[in-house]
Amino acid sequence: MALLPLLFFPDPRLNTVAKPVTAVDHRIRTLVADMLQTMYEAKGIGLAATQVDVHERLIVIDVSEQRDQAVVLINPQLVWTSPETHRNEEGCLSVPGIYDGVERFDAVTVSALDADGKACVIQADGLLAVCIQHEMDHLMGKVFVEYLSPLKRNRIKKKMLKAQREEAR
């Protein structure tokens, strides 16, 4: 297993639209294991392949307290969304230190392949539902801060670029 380097906002590669995974083979299983390790190490609750510069439809999530309930979704598709929505505070490993409210469906049903390539259907609500929507946005090339006002987004962009410059010194 290996830790994978993350892309950070406003890296334009985060705006890439991911392609479907064509086969759940050894390469994909290795990627899943590496993404899980990277997510746990970074203390994140979700990670999309987009964030490690792999533009294929694959996300890993673990919203459990014990960090032992990994959810792997390959080629996820939203098949149902609740009529109710809510504003939730979100953060992202690609936008460290920034938290803000985003409107999301309260519950969703997703069909996908699991880590073994088996078809599965997941009904999610609460934090898991929010996380699935956040990670699926990454696969469409969308980072959560892009829902915020242009003013806020620009402020965040400047802050991130400044931090990245200081880190590079």
* 26 HSE (CA, 13 A, CB side): 0
Q: Which stretch binds Ni ion (CB under 5 A): 68-76, 85-93, 103-111, 120-128?
A: 85-93
Using the minimum distance from each CB to Ni ion, give the nearer residue, 92 or 110. 92
135 is catalytic: yes
In this chain, which of 18, 74, 92, 129 binds Ni ion, going by CB under 5 A? 92
* Cβ distance to Ni ion smaller for residue 24 or 39: 39
Answer whether 34's CB lies under 8 Å from 2's CB: yes
Q: How far, in Å, are 6, 32, 68 from residue 43 at the CA level?
A: 13, 16, 13
Considering the rule CB under 5 A, would residue 7 count as an interface residue with Ni ion? no
Residue nearest to Ni ion (CB): 92
- Amino acid, res. 141: G
- Closest approach, Cβ 119 to Ni ion, in A, equals 25
Residue count, binding to Ni ion (CB under 5 A): 1
Identify the active-site residue in 56, 135, 146, 167.
135
DSSP symbol at 18:
P
* Nearby residues of 94 by Cβ (< 8 Å), 6 or more positions away: 6, 7, 8, 9, 11, 14, 51, 138, 143
Catalytic residues: 135
Contact positions vs Ni ion (CB under 5 A): 92
